[in-house]
Amino acid sequence: MPPPPSLTREELVEGTGESSSPPRSSSVHHDLRRRIYELLLAAGKQGDSDPSSFWDTLCAHFDKLPDRYLVDLGEEKAEEVLLHRKVLDECANNGKQPVFKARFLECIQVQQKDEGTYPECDDPTQRLLLEDLTLERIHGADNTVSMSSPSRDSGPMLLHEIIFSSKDKPKLLMRLTSLLSEVGLNIREAHVYSTTDNLCLDVFVVDGWKTKETDALITRIKETLTRKNGATSNSASTSSSGKILELRQQVADCEIDWSMLKTTEKIASGSYADLYRGTYNGYDVCIKILRITHFDSPSEIEFLQQALILRGVNHEHILKFYGTCTGHPKCFGIVTEYMPGGNLYDFLHNQNDILGLILILKIAIQISKGMEYLHQNRIIHRDLKTANILIGYNQVVKIADFGVARVGSREGQMTAETGTYRWMAPEIINHKPYDHKADVFSFAIVLWELITLKVPYDTMTPLQAALGVRQGFRLEIPSDTHPGLSELIEQCWDEDPDVRPVFPEIIVQLEDILQQVQPPKGGHRRSNKAKMQKKS
Ligand SMILES: Nc1ncnc2c1ncn2[C@@H]1O[C@H](COP(=O)(O)OP(=O)(O)OP(=O)(O)O)[C@@H](O)[C@H]1O
């Protein structure tokens, strides 16, 4: 059985994922390093180096990578360390240009499932590993891209390994998986690592290449990369700068007076921006400042689009927008209200005790009202998750982070690779057209988190979670959940978007339950309220 795929880079960047490897003590890591070193020495792999400098070289390599790299490798794959080191060195010495290596791994016999050759397994996590660690994209007649389950044709299947290194950057993994799909490869396993010197090391096990030789495979990957880069940079250079200019003009009228803005402390760092607390004109504000390295890039487009969407909305459960600051050479930022309670993900996962039903309902109703407003305004959030819901004073929650939100027709549909796997609707995972009902699916996961205080699919990697959802696997709702709430969650995460309710219906259902359970005024359920009070 192959090991589970590791964390996606996007999840690492967003910081809401978790390692696929169990935490290990540093002495375990040291022992593993030592055993790998001894195995390589015994196999005569140290080349011209003496044992001590060979040890130092190996340690320098391990130091650059996260600890889970060692655990993922284990002793069995000790020799791969040398190949990985070579790929990383080549990339570093080559001005961080992309480097690909490919090799044939093994030929496996695939037999059709109904012939009974797939081992029976009750655990859905295990079943996924056995059957479905494949991301296959098919191009339909309309050239939309979708993922399908792996082919169940019987016969031999060749497995290859692709090792890739380049300068690390946000969304690289999505681009890479799209590149491999375009070449016709199905990803069966993915291990992705970022190094301390800002390179990535990505190892994919793939099928779909019909011969054992790999020269033509590498050529095909490089050609596809060149073609994709050419297409992107041509259109990017003409459209990207034009688009940025256009967006800057559109936000020009929300420019605030920089001299009235004061920053106090740094709150967080996102993938391309840093967040500060501050004051503006007497208001307590949050300033999201685009890092200089992301100027004139797709991140700037996303940043400006976020400002544009925020500018056009005004609702008590949507993060309040004060303005942009684009004219100042040092500060390119979006100013919003400051939310003292931080994000809902951190709040939930720092609780020791489950939340009372009334508090759950009150939070859920507020989120639903914010979402109802967005959908009424033809905005699909596309990345609704607890990390993007912020907590203010007096138990108020607001929806934030419109980084990937798009204005779209409620009737019309869009395709895109976006959002975070654990909250993602199956139609998005499957690269099918989707609409506002994708947000309803994500809301079901948020409701489940409110009830359980758990990370969704915490025994799975994000990729496994996505593949499970694609196969119809859903989270387990605790048996003591209010039946109305269980039913609502099940409706909201229905496979068929048409079956999922719209937010006005969701609000009615939640308010009904609230009415049933709310104690008379002056009741005694106060403890949860205290939990939601301001942190600052
Ligand atoms: N207005 C705000 N007030 C207080 N804290 C905020 C505010 N906006 C964001 N934060 C905090 O900063 C964190 C990072 O915010 P950000 O909008 O960059 O989200 P991100 O998803 O981590 O980044 P990105 O998606 O842009 O890579 C949030 O999770 C939240 O805890």
pLDDT of residue 263 exceeding 50: yes
Closest to 343 in 3D by CA, of 162, 535, 190: 535
Q: Higher confidence at residue 418 or residue 153?
A: 153
Distance 334 CA to ligand 1 centre (A): 12
CB count in 10 Å sphere of residue 26: 8
**317-353 residue pLDDT tens:** 999 999 988 776 667 788 999 999 999 999 999 998 8
Distance 193 CA to ligand 1 centre (A): 24
Pocket of ligand 1 (CB under 6 A): 14, 267-268, 270-271, 273, 275, 286, 288, 319, 336, 338-339, 342-343, 387, 390, 400-401, 403
pLDDT of residue 11: 38
pLDDT of residue 226 exceeding 70: yes
Weakest mean pLDDT among 44-48, 101-105, 243-247, 518-522: 518-522
Q: Decide: 377 and 312 in contact? Cβ < 8 Å.
A: yes
Pairing relation of β-strands 136-139 and 406-407? unpaired
pLDDT of residue 73: 86
Average pLDDT, the chain: 78
- Give the mutation target among 267, 385, 422 for probing the ligand 1 site: most ligand atoms within 8 A of CB: 267
pLDDT of residue 128: 35
Please confirm, yes or no, whether 257 is among the known catalytic residues.
Answer: no
pLDDT band at 516 (very low <50, low <70, confident <90, very high): very high
pLDDT of residue 58 exceeding 90: yes
pLDDT of residue 432 exceeding 80: no
Tokens of 363: 């939070």
pLDDT-above-90 percentage for the chain: 42
Q: Which of 16-25, 164-173, 261-270 has the highest mean pLDDT?
A: 261-270
Distance 375 CA to ligand 1 centre (A): 22
Domains of the chain: 9-212 (no CATH), 255-337 (3.30.200.20), 344-535 (1.10.510.10)
Distance 433 CA to ligand 1 centre (A): 28
pLDDT of residue 416: 34
DSSP helix/strand/coil, 238: helix
Indicate which atom in ligand 1 lies nearest the CA of residue 342. Answer: 31
The H or E element containing residue 210 is none
- Give the mutation target among 266, 343, 396 for probing the ligand 1 site: most ligand atoms within 8 A of CB: 343
One-letter identity of residue 413:
Q
pLDDT of residue 271 exceeding 60: yes
290 contacts: CB under 8 Å, gap ≥ 6:
272, 273, 299, 300, 303, 332, 333
Rounded CA-CA distance 154/389 in Å is 47
**Which residues partner with 193 through β-bridges?**
201
One-letter identity of residue 225:
L
pTM score? 0.65
Weakest mean pLDDT among 3-12, 156-165, 222-231: 3-12
**87-121 residue pLDDT tens:** 999 999 989 888 999 999 998 876 554 433 333 33
Distance 361 CA to ligand 1 centre (A): 24
Rounded CA-CA distance 399/317 in Å is 6
Q: Decide: 63 and 29 in contact? Cβ < 8 Å.
A: no
Indicate which atom in ligand 1 lies nearest the CA of residue 343. Answer: 31
Q: Which of 60-64, 134-138, 486-490 has the highest mean pLDDT?
A: 486-490
* Catalytic residue from among 202, 383, 401, 435: 383
Weakest mean pLDDT among 118-132, 220-234, 329-343: 118-132
One-letter identity of residue 211:
T
Q: If you take atom 25 of ligand 1, which residue's CA is the nearest one?
A: 270
DSSP states of 191-208 as a string? EEEE-TTSEEEEEEEEE-
Give the ipTM of the model, two decimals please: 0.95
Placement of tokens 């390994």 in the chain: 161
pLDDT of residue 297: 65
Q: If you take atom 13 of ligand 1, which residue's CA is the nearest one?
A: 268
**Which residues partner with 164 through β-bridges?**
100, 202
Q: If you take atom 1 of ligand 1, which residue's CA is the nearest one?
A: 338
Distance 343 CA to ligand 1 centre (A): 8
Q: Higher confidence at residue 379 or residue 173?
A: 379
pLDDT of residue 238: 52
Weakest mean pLDDT among 228-242, 368-382, 471-485: 228-242
**273-282 residue pLDDT tens:** 889 999 998 8
Rounded CA-CA distance 323/341 in Å is 22
Closest to 443 in 3D by CA, of 378, 482, 397: 397
